[in-house]
Amino acid sequence: MSNKLNRIYIGAICNRDLEIFQEIKKFCSKNYNISIINLFKPGSDNFNVKYFKKKLKRYPISLIILKLLSEESNHIIYNAINEFAPDIPLLNSQNSVKICESRIETFNFIKQKCRKLNIPQIYHTYQEAKKAFNQGKNVIIKLNTHNIPSLPKNDRILGIAKNLDQFKKLTAEFKSNNLFFQEYLGEFDIMYKIYVIDRWAVSITSFNRLQNITELSPLELIHIRVPIEKQLKRRVLRLGRKLGMTIFGIDYILTKEGIPYIVDVNDFPSFRSIPEAVSLISDYIYNLVALRQQLLKATVEV
């Protein structure tokens, strides 16, 4: 009976990377007496506002986790949270989840708010990209939407244009709609990923998908952990604070001069190559909720 009375309830609005999420759910239940309640109606991929309200009434939800595919219908989820759960904290802020749905919004945010982080030049219009070609620059063209349902990551990159004719050919089908144009800094066989959980951060190597590497040996497939330069770590953590994210990831490349350039940001990535992520995320969730409960209790007693 006491076990049920002391149980903590977390709400989950998640529809991507569900494998690791299930591991987090199991770990939280076994080690912390935390029940993670699915706020999607069983058997449905669509968010149901009535079902959401029903679960909020049934369970004393202490925290909501958002981990979403990028879909137009997400605005229904955001509106429902604002209307029916405005006082329940989110693991990553709603604003950060929304911004990370769009590459343009993500890199505009970094450019405006985190100027000490290096990013490749972005081009907002066809004319800006045309001007870049005249300056001798190449342009990488991606779909602007970040986590597109059922679309492999490689297919989200349309290609690299080295001149205006290639640019026109790559963008003809899309008519520049929902596209993201960015300066292409050159070929890098190795990319780096940083995974962040609160103040903890780890960096690993990853092969660059743009290089079309099809055959890799078992040794090459291993993600090697590498040190994070202290200044870069501070700036990445600052990015998370400004966005309102505590669990996130970034991809970056290193130039020949050793300068890191951020090329991607992910809210709540999969953590597939980080074995200890499940326990660290679960620990953080428990500590976050426990601290909030202590503060609420202290406020009531005063």
| Token code pair at residue 254 | 């290193």
The helix/strand/coil state of 73 is coil
Q: How many residues does the chain have?
A: 302
CA distances 34 to 7, 51, 55, 62, 246, Å, are: 6, 21, 16, 10, 19
The helix/strand/coil state of 201 is strand
Contact predicate 218/242, CB 8 Å: no
- Read off the pLDDT of residues 171-199 as tens digits, 9 standing for 90 and up: 988 866 789 999 999 988 889 999 999 99
**Matching CATH topology for 2-91+278-301 and 190-267?**
no
Which residue reads 């990553």 in tokens?
92
Instruction: Say yes or no: domain 190-267 is CATH 3.30.470.20.
Output: yes
- Read off the pLDDT of residues 84-94 as tens digits, 9 standing for 90 and up: 999 999 999 99
- Read off the pLDDT of residues 34-70 as tens digits, 9 standing for 90 and up: 999 999 998 887 899 999 999 999 999 999 999 999 9
The CB density around residue 195, as the number of other CB atoms within 10 Å, is 21
Number of H helices, E strands in the chain: 10, 12
CA distances 139 to 129, 163, 226, 234, Å, are: 7, 8, 29, 29
| Token code pair at residue 177 | 């709609």
| Token code pair at residue 95 | 């604003």
Percentage of the chain modeled with pLDDT above 70: 90
Is residue 97 pLDDT above 50, yes or no?
Answer: yes
Dist. CA 209–CA 295, nearest whole Å: 46
pLDDT confidence of residue 231: 97
Dist. CA 45–CA 52, nearest whole Å: 13
pLDDT confidence of residue 2: 45
Options 3.30.70, 2.60.40, 3.40.50, 3.30.160; CATH for 2-91+278-301 is 3.40.50
- Rg of the chain over all Cα atoms, to the nearest angstrom: 21
Domain extent listing, the chain = 2-91+278-301, 121-183, 190-267
Pairing mode, if any, of strands 61-67 and 8-14?
parallel
The helix/strand/coil state of 267 is strand
Largest alpha-carbon pair distance within the chain? 72
Beta partners for 143?
179
